[in-house]
A and B are shown apart, each in its own frame.
Chain A
Amino acid sequence: MSVRIDAAIAARGFDVSVSLAPGETLAVLGPNGAGKSTLLSVMAGLLRPDTGRGEVDGKVLFDLGPGVNAWTAPHRRGTALLAQEPLLFPHLSALDNVAFGPRSAGMAKVAAREAARHWLAEVDAAELAARRPGELSGGQAQRVAVARALAADPDVLLLDEPMAALDIHAAPLLRRLLKRVLAGRRAVIVTHDVLDAYVLADRVIVMEEGRITEEGPVREVLQRPRSRFAAGLAGLNLLAGTVTAAGIRSADGMEFAGHHDDPLVPGQAGVAAFPPSAVSVFLSEAHGSPRNSFRVKITDLEPHGDQIRVRAGELSADITPAASADLGLVPGLEAYFVVKAAAVSIYPA
C-alpha cells in the first residue's frame, strides 16, 4: 500500500485506519460529525492525533505513540487540501493563486506562472487568469481552487466536500471536472453525496462516530450495504449502462428514459439514478406518457419506515402496505416496475 494512515484522537472518539493504492480515489461517506474532515486534517498535518502512524510512499507523515514522536510539517507532506469553500487568496489574481504552489516549491516566477496557465487551462478557466477571487462566481472560484491544488503537484489530493457550497448549476460542472482530473490520481474525497462516491471514487469508506463502519469498492458497498448509513444512501436505485439520446441502455439491453443533468454524448458510459419512492409497482404493463416500465421478479419485501420496500434484484420500490396487500406481492412474483422519466437522472459514470 502506498498510503497508510492509522490515527486515534481520544477526545473526539476518532480511531481510523485507511490505505490507498497508487492512483486510487477513496470516497469518505458518513453523517455530520462522523470524523470525515478530521481524517483529512490528520492527513494534511493540520491536526495532531494522539497516537498513530501515517505514511505516503515510505515518507513518514507522523509516528506518534509511546516512545515515538515523529512529525512532518504540513508544507512538507505533499497533501494539497481543497475545502468546501475555495479559499482563494483574495489579494492575488487567479493566476497567482494557482502559481502559489509552484512558487512555494521554489520555482521561478515566470515558470510558475507558465505552470499555472497550464493548470487553469486544464480546468477550463484560462480566461479567468487575470481576475481577482472577488470577481469570480462560486463555481469559477472552486475550479481555480482545483487548479491551485493540482498545480502544487500533491502526492495525495484531499477534497473536503468540494461541491457542498456550490449551487445546483455549478455542482455538476465541477463534478465532471473532478472526474476528469481525479482519474488515475491518488485522492481522498469527503462527501455527503452518494453520487460523488459513485462517479469519482474507486473505493469508499463509511464513517460513523469516528470509526469506519464499512469499506470496499463503491458499487459493492452501495449495493450490499451493511451499515445503516450506507443503507440509507444506497436507497437510490443505480443502473449502469450506455448513454442514449433519450436516456440510457443497460448492459442487458433495457432502454431507460431519463433526463441528463450534464450534456452527455450518446455512447459514453453512464449511470441512471432514481429513488425507490419514484417507482410504482403494477401487475400488468402500464402505458402512457414518458414512463419506464419493465418486468421484474420480486425477490424480497421488507418494511421501510411506514412503507414497504419491494426489492427486485438490484432495484427497489417503496409502496404503501395497502398497495402491497392489494397487489398481493410475494417474493417470486413477476410484476412491473414503473418510473417516470422525469424522476430518472442520468450521469456520466
Chain B
Amino acid sequence: MRHAYQGIPRWIYVLATAGALFVLLPLAAIVAKVNWAQFLPLVTSESSLTALGLSLRTSAASTVLCIVLGVPLALVLARGQFRGQRLLRSFVLLPLVLPPVVGGIALLYTFGRQGLLGRSLELAGIQIAFSTTAVVLAQTFVALPFLVVSLEGALRSAGSRYEAVAATLGARPTTVLRRVTLPLVMPGLASGAVLSFARSLGEFGATLTFAGSLQGVTRTLPLEIYLQRETDADAAVALSLLLVAVAVAVVGLSYRGPGAAGTRGPGAAERALREGTPETARERVAP
C-alpha cells in the first residue's frame, strides 16, 4: 500500500502538519510546565484524590447509564421505521453542539427544586440538584450522543441481514438482539462506551451549573483543576496532565481495534462482516 498513488497535493501536508501541531503543542506545553519535583505530592493530595475518585465513580456510573439508555436509542434510530425518526436523531445529538452550561441550566429546570420534574421528585423526598446524582445526570446528558452515534453507525454498517436470518431460524426478537445484534456491534458499542466515559470524565460546564462544586460530593477533577488554578497553578497543571494521561489511555484503548472491544477471536467479526457484504458477493459472482 505504501507505494500506491496517494493523490495528496504537497501543500496539504503543510497544513496538516500545522493542524497536528495545533493539537500537540498545547499538550507539550503542559508537560513542559509540570513541576516534576512536586508532581506526586500534588496529584496525591487529599483534595486531588477525592476529586479523582469522584470523577472515576461518576464517570463509570454515567457510562452505565449511557449504555442502558443509549443502546435502545441507537437500535430504534438504526432499525426502526417511524415518523419523526430524523427529528428524534437531531434532538438526541443536540448535546454534542449545545454549550454544556446550557445543558446544565436545562437540567436544573428539569430536575431542580423548581424544575419540571423536580417538584414531584421533591414531594417524593428525592432531591437531585447539587448532589452526586446530579453529577452523573449532567455527565450522561453530554456523553449520551457519543454512544448513540458510535453504536448507530455500527448497527447500520452491520446491516440487518444476519438478524433476518436469525429470525427465520426461529429466534424471538429479544434472542436476536442478545445473540446476534449485540455481539456483532460489540466493537462499536465498546468504543462508544469508552468515548462516553472519556466525555463524562472531562465534563465541566453542565456539572458546575447543575451540581455545583462541593468537595467530595460534586467537585470532579475538572472542577478541582479550575479551582486550583486560582490558588495553586502547579497543582492545576499536574492534575491536568493526569487527565491528559487518562484521555490518551482511553483513546488508545478504543482505537486498538476489535480485539480490545470484547469480541472473541480478534477480527473475526469484522472479517466476516466484510465477507458477508453484498458487494463482495457480487464480485464473486461476476465472471
Using a CB–CB cutoff of 8 Å, the interface residues on chain A facing chain B are: 44-46, 73-81, 83-91, 100-101, 103-105, 132-134, 138, 148-149, 152, 154, 158, 164-167
Q: Is B169 a contact of A80 with CB atoms below 8 Å?
A: yes
Chain B 185-218 interface 0/1 with A at a Cβ cutoff of 8 Å (1 = within): 0100000000000000000000000000000000
- Select from chain A the residue with minimum beta-carbon distance to B278: A85
- Give Cα A80–Cα B179 distance, bound, in whole angstroms: 17
Chain B positions within 8 Å of A165 at CB level: 281, 284-285
Residues from 245 to 284 in B contacting A, C-beta threshold 8 Å: 263-265, 267-269, 271-273, 275-276, 278, 281, 284
A77/B276 contact (C-beta < 8 A), A90-B268, A91-B268 known:
no
Q: Is A75 a contact of B172 with CB atoms below 8 Å?
A: yes
Q: Is B263 a contact of A138 with CB atoms below 8 Å?
A: no
Least Cβ–Cβ distance between A136 and chain B, in angstroms: 9
Chain B positions within 8 Å of A75 at CB level: 167-173, 176
Number of interface residues of B (CB under 8 A): 34
Q: Is A152 a contact of B165 with CB atoms below 8 Å?
A: no
Chain B positions within 8 Å of A149 at CB level: 169
Interface centre among B161, B165, B276, by most A CB within 10 Å? Answer: B165
Interface centre among B165, B169, B175, B180, by most A CB within 10 Å? Answer: B169
Chain B positions within 8 Å of A45 at CB level: 167-168
Using a CB–CB cutoff of 8 Å, the interface residues on chain B facing chain A are: 161-162, 164-173, 175-176, 179-180, 183-184, 186, 263-265, 267-269, 271-273, 275-276, 278, 281, 284-285
Chain A positions within 8 Å of B275 at CB level: 85, 134
- Select from chain A the residue with minimum beta-carbon distance to B264: A91
Q: Is A88 a contact of B172 with CB atoms below 8 Å?
A: no
Q: Is B284 a contact of A167 with CB atoms below 8 Å?
A: yes
- Select from chain A the residue with minimum beta-carbon distance to B171: A104
The DSSP consensus for interface residues of chain B is: helix
Q: Is B161 a contact of A87 with CB atoms below 8 Å?
A: yes
Chain B positions within 8 Å of A80 at CB level: 168-170
- Give Cα A44–Cα B281 distance, bound, in whole angstroms: 22
Chain A positions within 8 Å of B268 at CB level: 90-91, 132-134
26 examples of A-B residue contacts, CB within 8 angstroms: A44-B168, A46-B167, A74-B167, A75-B169, A75-B173, A81-B165, A83-B161, A84-B281, A86-B276, A87-B276, A89-B180, A89-B183, A90-B271, A90-B276, A91-B186, A91-B264, A100-B166, A104-B169, A133-B272, A134-B265, A134-B271, A134-B275, A158-B168, A165-B281, A165-B284, A166-B284
Least Cβ–Cβ distance between B141 and chain A, in angstroms: 32
Q: Is B273 a contact of A138 with CB atoms below 8 Å?
A: no
Least Cβ–Cβ distance between A141 and chain B, in angstroms: 9
Chain B positions within 8 Å of A158 at CB level: 168
Q: Is A100 a contact of B168 with CB atoms below 8 Å?
A: no
- Give Cα A323–Cα B179 distance, bound, in whole angstroms: 65
Least Cβ–Cβ distance between B184 and chain A, in angstroms: 7
Interface centre among B171, B172, B273, by most A CB within 10 Å? Answer: B171
A78/B276 contact (C-beta < 8 A), A89-B162, A164-B285 known:
no
Q: Is B281 a contact of A85 with CB atoms below 8 Å?
A: yes
- Give Cα A240–Cα B63 distance, bound, in whole angstroms: 68
Chain B positions within 8 Å of A148 at CB level: 169
- List 16 other contacts, CB 8 Å, given A87-B165, A104-B175: A44-B168, A45-B168, A46-B168, A77-B168, A79-B168, A89-B166, A90-B273, A91-B184, A105-B170, A132-B265, A133-B272, A138-B284, A148-B169, A152-B170, A154-B168, A165-B285
Chain A positions within 8 Å of B176 at CB level: 75
- Select from chain A the residue with minimum beta-carbon distance to B175: A104
* From B179, B264, B276, contact of A100 by CB (8 A): B179
Q: Is B168 a contact of A81 with CB atoms below 8 Å?
A: yes
- Select from chain B the residue with minimum beta-carbon distance to A77: B168
- Select from chain B the residue with minimum beta-carbon distance to A106: B170
Least Cβ–Cβ distance between B264 and chain A, in angstroms: 7
- Select from chain A the residue with minimum beta-carbon distance to B284: A165
* From A74, A86, A91, A133, contact of B263 by CB (8 A): A91
Chain A positions within 8 Å of B161 at CB level: 83, 87
Interface centre among B161, B167, B175, B285, by most A CB within 10 Å? Answer: B167
- Give Cα A29–Cα B100 distance, bound, in whole angstroms: 60
Q: Is A88 a contact of B167 with CB atoms below 8 Å?
A: no
Least Cβ–Cβ distance between A160 and chain B, in angstroms: 11
